[in-house]
Amino acid sequence: MELEKFASSTQGFTRSPLGIIALFIVLVYGFASLVVGLGSGITEHVVPLIYFMVLFPVIVFFGFLWLVAKHHNKLYGPSDFKNEDNFFKAQIASVASLAAATARQYGDENVLNNVQLQEIVDVVSKTTRKLKLEKWKNRVLWVDDRPSNNVYERQAFEAQGIEFDLALSTSEALDKLLKNRYVAIISDMGRKEGPQEGYVLLEKLRSNGDLTPFIIYTRSNLPEHKKMAREKGAVGSTNRAEELFQLVMGVVSNGL
């Protein structure tokens, strides 16, 4: 391939972290192959190069597995999406909605300081996903007898392509779960049915063998309540909008 054509073909790779990694691997392995094949006077050093060429693909393979397992949401850039403008608009919309939700929780829009806003931006900036082909992998069941309290939170998710079914009670939630499949369930804790109805729903699901990831969104954020939720089989429990966003999007992105 001519140098000019090679340079033009590599431009597309530089638009995302995954492409840069691939380009780096190709260049390193390519130069090593050229040195072994065309180099002269390297007889004494050819063995280390051969070992490098044999081991390099193995190291890259396991490194890639680690990246996919631990940092999959950082492997894509805006150019990986059909419309880069839509990507940025989605991120901004999610930040704005989470900021509004956080401000409402404190009861005063002016109480949202720079540190809190930066935390929200950081959480959203780490969230990069593509819509899944299976509709259920983009759909969440939200169980709350007062859904009007979570409007901003849902807007933050909807900006990322997440859809919701709402249930006002445990019985309604169980009925919907019999008819539909969801990637995750968000539930409040206390409802008209009881002060720990979130746990009641979770225990019924687990006793029926339903392992749908379950996140509790409640008023308490005490460590002991978080621990108890995990012990009962929930992914987590929080009263913070940005932490809820992080928990749910982690489940959705992993496709669990």
- Render each residue's pLDDT in the chain as its tens digit; 256 residues: 454 555 555 555 555 556 666 666 777 767 666 666 665 566 666 677 777 767 777 776 677 666 655 555 555 555 555 555 566 677 888 888 888 888 887 765 555 667 777 888 888 877 766 666 688 889 999 999 999 999 999 999 998 889 999 999 999 999 999 999 999 999 999 999 999 999 999 999 999 999 999 999 999 999 999 999 999 999 999 999 999 999 999 998 875 5
120 contact partners, CB below 8 Å, separation of at least 6 = 95, 98, 99, 102, 241, 242
* Contact yes or no for 214/220 (Cβ under 8 A): no
Residue in this structure with the two tokens 């956080």, named with its chain if needed: 102
pTM of this prediction? 0.65
Q: Which two tokens stand for residue 226?
A: 């978080």
At 113, which helix (H) or strand (E)? none
* Contact yes or no for 195/173 (Cβ under 8 A): no
Q: Which two tokens stand for residue 243?
A: 């932490």
Q: Which of 246, 242, 235, 183 is nearest to 212 (CA)?
A: 183
